[in-house]
Chain A
Amino acid sequence: MGKYSLIHTENIPNPTKIDIWELCKKGKSLLQMFIDEHPNDDLIFDKIAGALSIIEITSNLLRLPKTKFRLIDGHGINCKVYEAKSGIIRLYLFHEENTGKVIVTGGKKGNQKEDIKSVLQTIKDFKNESK
């Protein structure tokens, strides 16, 4: 059995046209682990909810400006990787063929370079395992 798996997200409140999943490592959702890192920080949780709202909107095929939802390019991975932004919070996701959008994890403003590097490596590992 592989290290990575996908679960249907329970963090997006409403049904969407494109299915949304969360990436799990050893059975644990990486997004949920990120959320659980900030148990008593109301501001951060509020912005995580804002970023989830952005993912919900774009998964219903509505458009948003690049400052809210942008394509991360130049990574050489054979899929589209996105960043959803609300305030200081960023959520990272990718499009998985015949599946939908997969939320990888989150990060904070100011740490994007390292976060994106780590997210891209995680996606590569997931893709390699799926081959």
Chain B
Amino acid sequence: MKVNKREQILNQPSYWIENINGLLYNAIVDYMEEHNMKQKDLAAHLNISNGRVSQILNDGDINFSLDKVIQIALKVGMYPSFKLVKKSDVLVEDFDNSLVK
């Protein structure tokens, strides 16, 4: 039953979209703070418009193409690591975690 609920959530695209958006948002905000950047400095650094930067910082919606996401990650000092994991492996791991809890 526990695995089933998790599986239902993990099967929804929005779960992953919010997760990836959140990771990128944090990387960008951390980079801005570490480098004492303002919004316009970030726009110049990422080579995107002020409007797009505002959209990222205020709405948290990245919604860029994959190549732009990779460019942004590299520009904020991160290597984007992407992997596909078999659903069955994740669900077994989740079940093990639930037993530990």
Query: Could you tell me which A residues sit within 8 Å of B by CB distance?
Result: 8, 10-15, 45-54, 56-57, 62-65, 67-68, 86-87
Contacts and interface: CB of A to CB of B under 8 A. Distances in A.
Nearest to B98: A10
B19 A53 contact: yes
Nearest to B59: A67
Contacts of B60: 64-65, 67-68
Contacts of A13: 6, 9-10, 15, 94
Contacts of B80: none
A51 B23 CA distance: 15
Given A11-B5, A13-B94, A67 B58 contact: yes
A53 B97 CA distance: 17
B15 A53 contact: yes
Given A13-B6, A49-B15, 17 more contacts: A8-B101, A11-B5, A15-B97, A46-B12, A50-B12, A50-B14, A50-B17, A52-B9, A53-B15, A57-B18, A57-B19, A63-B26, A64-B22, A65-B25, A65-B57, A68-B60, A87-B14
